[in-house]
Structure 1
């Protein structure tokens, strides 16, 4: 998350190094230069840094050199900062007090007055109830996250020309605790995090220089008119997990944000797509709202949109009228997971690459339902109501670029006809498949993963030569079917074979003759006994590394070939 950036930078900075005080008196050997002092138990290997982190300190360490520029005191038990000790460190540039027990009473207002070089201050995970009233003008990054802050003062962040990042998330700030001039004179602030507070409306007078604004997990029900009119540099706006309704936004709320690329309005109470969306917008997240219908005219301004997420709304049969998304000519991905759509929406943008429609009520797939999106590379129709009789034999004819097709959790009794030869992944688990014929898999020479788990397949239902054209298949999942033995003539390229949860009671010496590249074999929860597996079964599998035979009626004896004797065996004996 964006607010973790300062901590990451801090860990990579010189704060873990140390220094000593040249003024500290040296005992003995007066002819030698006096050694630099370092507080007890701290580390000071460098001349400008003192690292006292994670020492369970309860008192501010003495003997810190006045030349220190970087001081690390995080992960201790400090309850207060002595003014006299801190004020003499006039060259200090970085002060890390993260994860202590500091209260506002233990952090006096004058503590930072003399630190005129201070640039980075980290006081996250403490017990502050109010922000420091005065911070030096030199400060660039201030992290006060995860405290109990209820009030900010005008000069906490105001009149700070170098200030770039402010982190106030996970506090108790209400709108009354933020003065209207909180950022006056601070015209360089790019990142502001106010998430997980108690704000009820968007704070006014935010810095016009903002590029990232985090307001998620508040109580915001309204964005006052003009509240974002000056933020023309804003690129990311996070408003998810609030209480926004259509009445809390107007057609000018986002219209001035000419640089906005990411807008997250998920987990609110919106009944429609907001108006006035900027052309620069690339990602719009509207999941978990109450949207019943998408009106095309509201999307005309967002012609540059690439990702539209509408999962878990209330889109029904008429939720996406024909052509509603046509203005989005650059749309790459459309997420419609968990709605009530009965058909694939008609007239989708032609450049669409990913259509994600699981957990809807799609029961029919016609010959032309997908004709408008010939560039699709990913199609997810899992957990709908598709039956084989209602999937047209030419439904996938135009999808010549399709690489991933997910039809899991439907009511299919046979594989659909005319699957694209471009497929790399085909998921058909949790259907009602009873047969597998060679012509159904014909042309799938590029298929690498095939999941047929949780169906009703028996070995006799798999036609001879069914695997013949799957020369690239590496992962085959036949688990939880009704197989009584390992299917013959499996693809030579196979590396991972799932057969768990079947009825297999015997594995003969020729079971894996056609799969010399097999690396992982799963035989868990079958009907295998102590001597069910032939001693020669694995001799031609030099790459085999995992054999799972757990949860069978008896422990199963697994003999791996010599080259694989050091490989792990799961559930074998």
Structure 2
């Protein structure tokens, strides 16, 4: 027989145990010791306010917990995860977002078909890891794929085959020398980020719908002559920190109506290239430009023929304010900022 005091002492110990477990799970417990979501992994939080979300970020995790079937959004960023085991997502085929940036993922530790059953996956964030290749068999449903800041040096030809919904693709800060024709068939792609790679030329077979192309910090020496004819919807092109020279720019290659922003800074240009009158932002700082050619902006100057340019940077070149002719006030009448 035990005394009432002993019974109370045992009850307190049990109570403390359940309080600790409840704290570990990050969820409240109801009367009768029933968790709000009994199938949520102990390492994560599944708050009742967001019943389809599973929060596992910043927990020092070294593996991906098995995801319950009702979860649509899983947050695993900022951990120490090195691989993704087979079957971890097999019950959660309704997943829409998988967030895994800032981990230590390695390509040889990701199962070949680990993502293949996720037919509704919309966003996959794998940036800031140690991947050497794009994971195979990605779902065709993805619209936003982030693979920046990895160690990818080569993309296999069929990597993105059938991904007709992909609109945003980030591959910046890798070690890619030539993307080949891997982007062919990505009919919905509007934004491609390939900054800080080792490209020597423009990527081939870019989709016609492309609107934003970021190629800064590469080794590109020239722009293809017919590039803008094949990409009439391109509005933002950034080519800063490459190896462009005047010889690498075909005549009037930038004189296209859709381009809104053009960044050619930190190259080796000696002349201002001819640009469209509809261009609004032009960055040419840190080149070797020696003269201000008004004809680069306006072929003729009258009341109807003028540039829409609002921002012009020419600092760190070999020209000064006195090199700008008085007629520039008529041609560049919308200019709000010029830096010499």
Structure 2 length-normalised TM: 0.84
Match of 1:201 in 2: 63
Residue 246 to residue 374, structure 1, CA distance change in 2 (3 Å): same
Q: Does 1:136 align with 2:30?
A: yes
Match of 1:512 in 2: none
Residue 375 to residue 285, structure 1, CA distance change in 2 (3 Å): same
Matches of 2:26 and 2:170, distance apart in 1: 40
Write the mapping of 1:513-552 to structure 2, written as runs, cut at 5 A. Answer: none
Choose the corresponding residue for 2:259, options 386, 395, 402.
402
Residue 324 to residue 210, structure 1, CA distance change in 2 (3 Å): same
- State the shift of 1:156 in Å: 4.9
Q: Does 1:471 align with 2:329?
A: no
Cα deviation, 1:389-424, whole Å, max 9, x if unaligned, reads 321113224x3211111111111111012x122211
Contact residue 109 and residue 133 of structure 1 kept, 8 A: no
SS of the aligned residue for 1:284 comes to strand
- State the shift of 1:281 in Å: 0.8
Matches of 2:270 and 2:81, distance apart in 1: 49
Match of 1:335 in 2: 193
Matches of 1:439 and 1:215, distance apart in 2: 54
Match of 1:320 in 2: 179
Matches of 2:237 and 2:26, distance apart in 1: 53
Match of 1:349 in 2: 207
Match of 1:284 in 2: 145
Q: Does 1:432 align with 2:288?
A: yes
Q: Does 1:447 align with 2:309?
A: yes
Matches of 2:270 and 2:117, distance apart in 1: 53
Matches of 2:169 and 2:156, distance apart in 1: 14
Contact residue 43 and residue 56 of structure 2 kept, 8 A: no
- State the shift of 1:255 in Å: 1.4
- State the shift of 1:233 in Å: 2.3
- State the shift of 1:460 in Å: 4.2
Choose the corresponding residue for 2:116, options 255, 263, 270.
255
Unmatched tracts of structure 2, length 5 or more: 1-12, 300-305
- State the shift of 1:292 in Å: 1.1
Contact residue 148 and residue 170 of structure 2 kept, 8 A: yes
Cα deviation, 1:126-146, whole Å, max 9, x if unaligned, reads xx6x447971179xxxxxxxx
Q: Does 1:270 align with 2:104?
A: no
Between 192-201 and 455-464, the greater mean CA deviation after superposition: 455-464
Choose the corresponding residue for 1:462, options 303, 314, 324.
324
Match of 2:272 in 1: 415
- State the shift of 1:313 in Å: 0.3
Match of 1:381 in 2: 239
Aligned length: 318
- State the shift of 1:228 in Å: 0.8
Contact residue 217 and residue 241 of structure 1 kept, 8 A: yes
- State the shift of 1:436 in Å: 0.4
Between 450-459 and 210-219, the greater mean CA deviation after superposition: 450-459
SS of the aligned residue for 1:468 comes to helix
Cα deviation, 1:148-186, whole Å, max 9, x if unaligned, reads xxxxxx9655448xxxxx8xxxxxxxx9x659xx98xx9
Residue 250 to residue 131, structure 1, CA distance change in 2 (3 Å): closer
Match of 2:303 in 1: none
Matches of 2:208 and 2:121, distance apart in 1: 24
Unmatched tracts of structure 1, length 5 or more: 1-104, 113-122, 139-153, 161-165, 167-174, 479-573
- State the shift of 1:212 in Å: 1.4
Q: Does 1:366 align with 2:224?
A: yes
Contact residue 285 and residue 309 of structure 1 kept, 8 A: yes
SS of the aligned residue for 2:296 comes to helix
- State the shift of 1:236 in Å: 1.4
Matches of 1:156 and 1:370, distance apart in 2: 59
Choose the corresponding residue for 1:239, options 100, 111, 133.
100
Residue 350 to residue 471, structure 1, CA distance change in 2 (3 Å): same
Q: Work out which structure has the larger RCO, using CA pairs closer than 8 Å and 6 or more positions apart in sequence.
A: 2
Contact residue 277 and residue 301 of structure 1 kept, 8 A: no
- State the shift of 1:361 in Å: 0.8
SS of the aligned residue for 2:51 comes to coil
Contact residue 230 and residue 256 of structure 1 kept, 8 A: no
SS of the aligned residue for 1:296 comes to coil
Matches of 2:213 and 2:25, distance apart in 1: 47
- State the shift of 1:231 in Å: 1.6
Matches of 1:159 and 1:292, distance apart in 2: 43
Matches of 2:103 and 2:27, distance apart in 1: 29
Residue 236 to residue 396, structure 1, CA distance change in 2 (3 Å): same
